[in-house]
A and B are shown apart, each in its own frame.
Chain A
Amino acid sequence: MLEILLDATVRAGTPILFATLGAIINERAGIINLGIEGLMLIGAVAGFAATHASGSLLIGVIAAFVLAFLAGSIHALITVQLRGNQIVSGLALTMFGIGMTALFGKEMVGLTITGFERIAIPGLSLLPVIGKPFFNQDLLIYFSFVLVALIWLFFYRTRWGLAVRTLGENPAAADTCGVPVNLYRFLAVTIGSGIVGIGGAYLSLASTPMWIENMSGGRGWIAVALVIFAGWSSPRAMLGAYLFGGITAMQLRFQAMGTTISAHILQMLPYAFTILVLVISTMRLAKGASQQPESLGQPYDREDRK
């Protein structure tokens, strides 16, 4: 029972995990990206279309990354180079994503593909309780584990990671040290967006191997809230994403058991819970438990440097 629930937790949490990781990379560089929801949809539709056309899941994932990377570059251009309002640009990106995917996904409704299949890792998958949920999963889930570690290593063990973190804290200082502020910010936004796209692809290539209009259903917004819960750190993002996976898994389990509670009420739980978690993590933030990047949301103009 616990094993099954944990398994469903990981599977439901993974798309949110990718999205949260992508959002963290954006915000670490000082750029708020509210386009996550739209980017997930773009990743989902691109991944599905490419896999359907080529028959290769790998090509699907790459297409999801590339298309979301390109869509993210619009946000990057507007917020980094043109110093536009980050909130409005992000909202525009979400609307753009919802509209574009509905338009170009129309042809793909009802088509099917063979999605990602489980591959058991010898040895580890035999562990009691956590073996199956974590080590008898599909390749994208294993990739998400690797990505969590890579992002942590990048931010805390490399010179480039330090430079990107400085962009979020004090871009003027980074500029003085010779960090190409605009280039790095641009890359952080676009690469982060690409990773969000992979989260979308997880929905259409693994969760349910098909394309449904608006299939992200608010997961992108949950991810935006989780960034704060995660305190901008990738291992904590994993914790947060699985927390939500857990709520979703439990909610689905309740429905499957034929409870008398309305499905609509149960479906509210993930959203209500996100708000609760957001409130608690914001209160912790105020107490200094973790630190929001100091310059988050502020455009950088060298002329303003003091």
Chain B
Amino acid sequence: MKLITERREISSRLLRFSAPIVSIAIALFVAGFLLLASGVNPLEAYREIIIESLGSIYGLSETLVKTTPLIFAGLGVSLAFRMQIWNIGAEGQIYMGALGASGVALFSGIGNHWLMMGAMFGAAFLCGGLWAGVAGFLRARWKVNEVIVTLLMNYIAILWVDYLVYGPWKDPKGFNFPLTAQFSDTARLAEYFNTRLHSGFFLAIFCALVLYLFMERTVWGYEIKVIGSNPKAAQYAGMHTGAAIFFVLFLSGAIAGIAGFSEVAGLQHRLQHGISPGYGYTAIIIAWLAKRSAIGVVIVSFLMGILLVGGDSLQLLWQLPVAFVYAFQGLILFFLLASDFFIQYRVKLVKGGRHA
């Protein structure tokens, strides 16, 4: 008796669709043992996560608050994925976006709310875009590995923000905390229902729709897909792959940068140390789970939002480190990758020896 694998001629839709759900379920099961090992009853923990994130209007609003930056960053990463470009730098692009938006809010002196919003948005878009654009340029010009460049630039972006909030931009009245002065009301997004939910969330949904139309209904969107799946054919068809690589990474970073705008204008109302607790890394998982679909990004971001809100409450209740969420996300990816195998291949038990 021997196990053999053979490639499936057609992979079933049912398998494809259920794979992410099954992966999350298995990851929850395995993570349960990790929780047990650290002295927490997993069933209680999971119940807590659901109650905290979905059990009340306030909980739900907090989940949406966390979903917001995830949607932007997830959209950015998944746009690059479309072209088989890896933007691992969404985290840094969020920081740069926040930096740009904060610079405008603090120093531009614009008096009109809408003008201010536009300028902050534009600054965040540009800062995030150029930050990723560096990697895009290097990749397009000299084929420099964009995974490493975007990743290393995260560290630099975080240090830039730290430099500013510990140094020149520090609030003189802030008791020496690493943060800038609060923004004026002109530089704040509207909030709703007496919660922290702000218009950034609706902007994120709007962005997802725009990106969906861009990818599915425009020639550019089509070209990005072609270049991603078959760069040689794209070149024969006269598409400018180099320019497209730069453009896509720029746009990818710019969208992630909007998350920075939305965080400082909608939620924090100032620039401070640790403005993103790793949204940019979670975005990579979101993009992968969403299979590059803009609508999928919104759904998966919401699931991850639940996880993050739940993770916070686990930290409060059982002193679990926040980074535990990363372990869980890593597990989801492992099982998702493994499930891809079973979508593509069939495993059979056959009689006989080596040459059967």
On A, residues with C-beta under 8 Å from B are 34, 38, 74, 77-78, 82-85, 87-89, 91-100, 102-104, 106, 213-214, 218, 221-222, 224-225, 228, 262, 264-265, 267-268, 271-272, 274-275, 278-279, 282-283, 286, 301, 303
- The complex places the Cα of A68 from the Cα of B276 at a distance, in Å, of 29
Contacts of A78 in B (CB 8 A): 334, 337-338
- The complex places the Cα of A91 from the Cα of B287 at a distance, in Å, of 13
- In the complex, residue of chain B having the shortest beta-carbon distance to the beta carbon of A99: B327
Q: Which of A38, A87, A103, A278 contacts B320 (CB 8 A)?
A: A103
- The complex places the Cα of A262 from the Cα of B138 at a distance, in Å, of 28
Q: Is B331 an interface residue (CB 8 A)?
A: yes
**Known contacts A222-B152, A282-B144; A103 and B159 CB within 8 A of each other:** no
On B, residues with C-beta under 8 Å from A are 6-7, 34, 37-38, 86, 88, 138, 142-145, 147-149, 151-153, 155-156, 159-160, 162-163, 166-167, 281, 284-285, 288, 319-331, 333-334, 337-338, 340-341
Tell me whether chain B's interface is mostly helix, strand or loop, or mixed: helix
Contacts of B142 in A (CB 8 A): 279, 282-283, 286
Besides A100-B34, A214-B323, 10 new A-B residue pairs in contact (Cβ under 8 A), listed by A number? A78-B337, A95-B329, A100-B327, A102-B321, A103-B324, A106-B319, A222-B152, A264-B162, A267-B159, A279-B138
Task: Say yes or no: B153 contacts A275, CB within 8 Å.
Answer: yes
Task: Say yes or no: A279 contacts B330, CB within 8 Å.
Answer: no
- The complex places the Cα of A264 from the Cα of B329 at a distance, in Å, of 30
Task: Say yes or no: B145 contacts A96, CB within 8 Å.
Answer: no
Interface contact tally, CB-CB below 8 A: 143
- The complex places the Cα of A98 from the Cα of B324 at a distance, in Å, of 8
Contacts of A264 in B (CB 8 A): 159-160, 162-163, 166-167
**Known contacts A99-B327, A103-B323; A225 and B138 CB within 8 A of each other:** no
**Known contacts A213-B321, A283-B142, A303-B7; A274 and B152 CB within 8 A of each other:** yes
Contacts of A92 in B (CB 8 A): 329-331, 333-334, 337
**Known contacts A221-B151, A262-B163, A267-B159; A96 and B337 CB within 8 A of each other:** no
- The complex places the Cα of A74 from the Cα of B333 at a distance, in Å, of 12
Contacts of B86 in A (CB 8 A): 87
Task: Say yes or no: B156 contacts A271, CB within 8 Å.
Answer: yes
- The complex places the Cα of A214 from the Cα of B326 at a distance, in Å, of 12
- Name the residue among A34, A95, A265, A271 with the largest chain B CB count within 10 angstroms: A95
Instruction: Give the shortest distance, in Å, between B85 (CB) and chain A (any CB).
Output: 11
Instruction: Give the shortest distance, in Å, between B273 (CB) and chain A (any CB).
Output: 10
- In the complex, residue of chain B having the shortest beta-carbon distance to the beta carbon of A85: B337
Task: Say yes or no: B138 contacts A213, CB within 8 Å.
Answer: no
- In the complex, residue of chain B having the shortest beta-carbon distance to the beta carbon of A89: B337
- In the complex, residue of chain A having the shortest beta-carbon distance to the beta carbon of B342: A82
Task: Say yes or no: A103 contacts B327, CB within 8 Å.
Answer: yes
Instruction: Give the shortest distance, in Å, between B14 (CB) and chain A (any CB).
Output: 20
Q: List 26 A-B contacts (CB under 8 A).
A: A38-B330, A82-B338, A89-B334, A92-B331, A95-B333, A96-B327, A96-B334, A102-B323, A102-B326, A103-B38, A103-B323, A104-B38, A218-B155, A222-B152, A262-B163, A268-B155, A268-B160, A271-B153, A271-B156, A274-B152, A275-B138, A275-B152, A278-B145, A278-B149, A279-B138, A286-B143
- The complex places the Cα of A89 from the Cα of B339 at a distance, in Å, of 12
Task: Say yes or no: A96 contacts B162, CB within 8 Å.
Answer: no
- In the complex, residue of chain B having the shortest beta-carbon distance to the beta carbon of A224: B148
Task: Say yes or no: A282 contacts B143, CB within 8 Å.
Answer: yes
**Known contacts A87-B147, A102-B324, A103-B320; A74 and B155 CB within 8 A of each other:** no
- The complex places the Cα of A282 from the Cα of B137 at a distance, in Å, of 14
Task: Say yes or no: A84 contacts B341, CB within 8 Å.
Answer: yes
Task: Say yes or no: A84 contacts B321, CB within 8 Å.
Answer: no
Task: Say yes or no: B320 contacts A84, CB within 8 Å.
Answer: no
- In the complex, residue of chain A having the shortest beta-carbon distance to the beta carbon of B143: A282
